[in-house]
Every structure is written in structure tokens, then in C-alpha cells.
Chains A and B, each alone.
Chain A
Amino acid sequence: MNINKALLSGSTGMLLLKLLEEKDMYGYEMIEMLRERSQNVFELKAGTLYPLLHTLEDKGYVTVYEKEVSGKTRKYYAITKTGSRALSEKKEEWKTYSEAVTNVLSMGGAV
């Protein structure tokens, strides 16, 4: 399913933070999880994911640490307190926005 990129990019950060709220993950794991949760709607490319993750880290929303799992050293991302706060703010924003969109769309039901 093809979805407009602009619609996705603003909220992808929020989705990633949501995933990290549950547990620490590495990049590949996040893409898989996102695909699974969204029933294949969000097929996030790694080329989009990593710049986003690094931006989130720059903002202090996530931290990185290295961990060795079954012989592979992986970069795990973990959400910070600032990140959790930002997530709940974003959730509120999203709720208001999506409700507004739904309202507007349902008004034009006669067409």
C-alpha cells in the first residue's frame, strides 16, 4: 500500500518512540515490529529510519548503547524521560488532529 511520504514523516518519530516505550530495540527490529503492528501499511525503509533515529537521539529523546547478542554487536535504542514526555504530547496532538480530520470528512458525507 502506498501512502504519501509527507503524511508519514511527521508521525513516524512518534511511532518509533511508542515502540521504544515498550522495550529497547535496534533498527531492524523496529522496522519489523512497525510492519507487523500496522499490518504492512508502514513499510519503513532503513534509509528513512536511521536519519530519524539519529535526529531523535540528537534531540535527547532516545539514547544509544551497544550490546552483544548472539555474537553480534548491535546498537540498541532506549527512550529517555524527555522522549516519553514528547511522546505523550505528540499523542495528544495526533488525537486532536485525527479527530478534526474525521469530523471534516464526515461532514461532506452527502457527496
Chain B
Amino acid sequence: MKKENRKDCTAKRKAEGTVSHTAQSAVKENISHDTEIQMAGAEHSCTDAYLQELVAQIRCQKAHSAVQEELRAHIEDQKEAFLEEGMEEKEAEERAVLEMGDSVAAGIELDRVHRPKAVWGMIGLVAVMSIIGFVYQCLVRQQFPETALSGEEMLRSGLSQDSFEFLGRDAYLLTHITAFYGIVAAVLLMAAIVFVIIRLFRISFRQRNQLGMMMGTGCAAVFFVKIVLYLLCNLGLIDGALDCPFLSFGGTGIGVTYILIGILLSVCRYRNVLPVNPPAKELGLRRQKI
């Protein structure tokens, strides 16, 4: 019975040529298949037909559930209003769906909004920082082709010109910049990095999707801690060979930096797509499966 009903629906839908009448004909279709629908359950109510047709226009699958939920709530509100006016259950639902307007047009409009965003601003920022880091590394390597050892002791023994021989290593780049290019350069560079991190935090906090917010904030926090430790290390307040995001050229450091940046870019990209909270229905289903 159910199968038959479905076949019928698809056949009818194919037959429908014009776009603007699809919602209306979906309603008519439901009237003619009255009894079958009741047997098939709520699955093929005209609300569902409308929502499915609308959501089919939105290419990004992840946005579907949030849009559906919001519109379903709207239809229900409208239906209740009609019920209060004295309509019958079925009639009220059909009228409520008709009131929604054209499903395809609305779907296309929503598709335009819920598209993954290309975050060129962020990509540009990351690219600029990376280029600065790269150019700086090239300069350092030219200056000190061979890296000397035991840098820390040399640094502590006094900041003579010779003692920067070790600075091919990544831990004291900021000290190196201060000595060779002046304190202003070092401060400017730090300001730039701090600016990037503040931006990352702001973007993360503005995420309405909770998972996105947590992941974004987490990544930004890692960057923040790294910078603070690096600064303290370069000021001689703590020990330890650390790396600075963007500036250092160490294998692990660079890997971690760009993995985190990748996660953050992805969080930005999907900010218009994901719902505020994961829909309860989906969670329920997953639990059942487990």
C-alpha cells in the first residue's frame, strides 16, 4: 500500500510541468489519496510534501533540518489559527500550506543564503601572515646558514652580536627581531599576530552553531596560549623551546598551526549552514542505532 502511494506521488510530480502550481497540486493530490494517506501515516501529509519540495532546492544538505523545523513550526501555527476559525483539521492544514506560498521559489531563495561561504578575508589574512613568516625565515637563514648550539646559555650570558648565531633555531625569533630590526618591529609583529587571534576569537564567539563555537574557541585558545608562552620565553621569564604560530619554521609547529587554521576556516565556511542546536530528532535516531 505504501509503495503504491509513493509511486503515485512521483508519477504525479513528474507530470507537473509548471513550478508555481506544485504546492497547490500537492494539496489536491493529498485530497484524492485521502484514505491511503491515513494508512501511510503522517509521512505523506501535505505539510511534508511541501517541506520536502522546498528543501530539495537547498543544495547544502546540512541546512535542511533547521529550515524544515522552522517552517514546520510556522505551518503549525497557521493551522492552529485556522482551526480556531472553525475549520476542520485537514482543511486547516491544506490552507496553512497554501498560505506559505510557492515552495520552489522559497527554496531557491533559501539556497542562496545557506551556501557554504568562501571566507576570502580569513584566507587572505592567513596568507599574509604566512608570507611574512616565510620571508622572515629566509632572511634568518641567509644571516645564519649554520645554526649554533646551546642558545639559551649564550642568550643568558649577554646579548652580544655573536650570541645570536644560534638564532636559526625557532625559540628566540622575537629576541632576534628586537636585536636586528628594533623593538618597534617586534611589537608590530606581535600586534599583528594578536590581531589575528582576536579575530579568530570573535568569529568563534559569533558562531550560532554550538559545536562550531566550541571548536573555534578551542583552536583560538591554543593559538593564544602558544603566543603568550612564546612571549614569556623570549622575555626570558620561562624556559623551553617553543614555536610561534606563523613565525617559526619547525615541522610540528607548522603542522599544528595549519591544521588549527584549517579547522577554523571550516568553522567560518559553514556558519550559515548549521542549526543553532543539533536537532533533537537526529540525536534520538543516533542513540537508537547505537
Contacts and interface: CB of A to CB of B under 8 A. Distances in A.
A72 interface: yes
Given A63-B208, A64-B208, A64-B276, A51 B74 contact: no
Interface in A48-101: 48, 50-51, 54-55, 57-58, 63-66, 72-75
Nearest to B98: A45
Interface of B: 54, 67, 70-71, 73-78, 99-103, 105-106, 109-110, 112-114, 208, 272, 276-277
A78 to B, nearest CB: 12
A45 B96 CA distance: 11
A48 B103 CA distance: 10
Nearest to A44: B101
A72 B77 CA distance: 10
14 contacts: A28-B74, A45-B100, A46-B74, A46-B78, A47-B109, A48-B101, A48-B106, A50-B70, A51-B106, A51-B110, A57-B272, A58-B113, A58-B272, A75-B276
Contact of B101 (A46, A54, A58): A46
Q: Which label, helix, strand, loop or mixed, suits the secondary structure of the B interface?
A: helix
Contacts, number: 64
A46 B276 contact: no
A47 B101 contact: yes
Interface in A22-54: 26-28, 45-48, 50-51, 54
Interface of A: 26-28, 45-48, 50-51, 54-55, 57-58, 63-66, 72-75
A81 to B, nearest CB: 13
Contacts of B77: 28
A56 B101 CA distance: 20
A47 B105 contact: yes
Contact of B70 (A27, A47, A58, A63): A27
B21 to A, nearest CB: 14
Contacts of B102: 47
A48 B102 CA distance: 9
A50 B276 contact: no
A9 to B, nearest CB: 10
Contact of A50 (B76, B99, B106, B112): B106
Contacts of B76: 72
Given A45-B100, A47-B54, A50-B67, 5 more contacts: A27-B73, A28-B73, A47-B105, A54-B272, A75-B276
A66 B277 contact: yes
B110 A50 contact: yes
A54 B276 contact: no
Given A51-B106, A51-B109, A46 B114 contact: no
B4 to A, nearest CB: 31
Contacts of A72: 73, 76
A60 to B, nearest CB: 8
A58 B270 CA distance: 12
Contact of B100 (A26, A47, A55, A63): A47
Contacts of A27: 70, 73-74
A27 B74 CA distance: 7
Q: Pick from A26, A47, A50, A72 the residue with the most CB of B within 10 Å.
A: A47
Q: Pick from A65, A73, A75 the residue with the most CB of B within 10 Å.
A: A75
B73 A55 contact: no
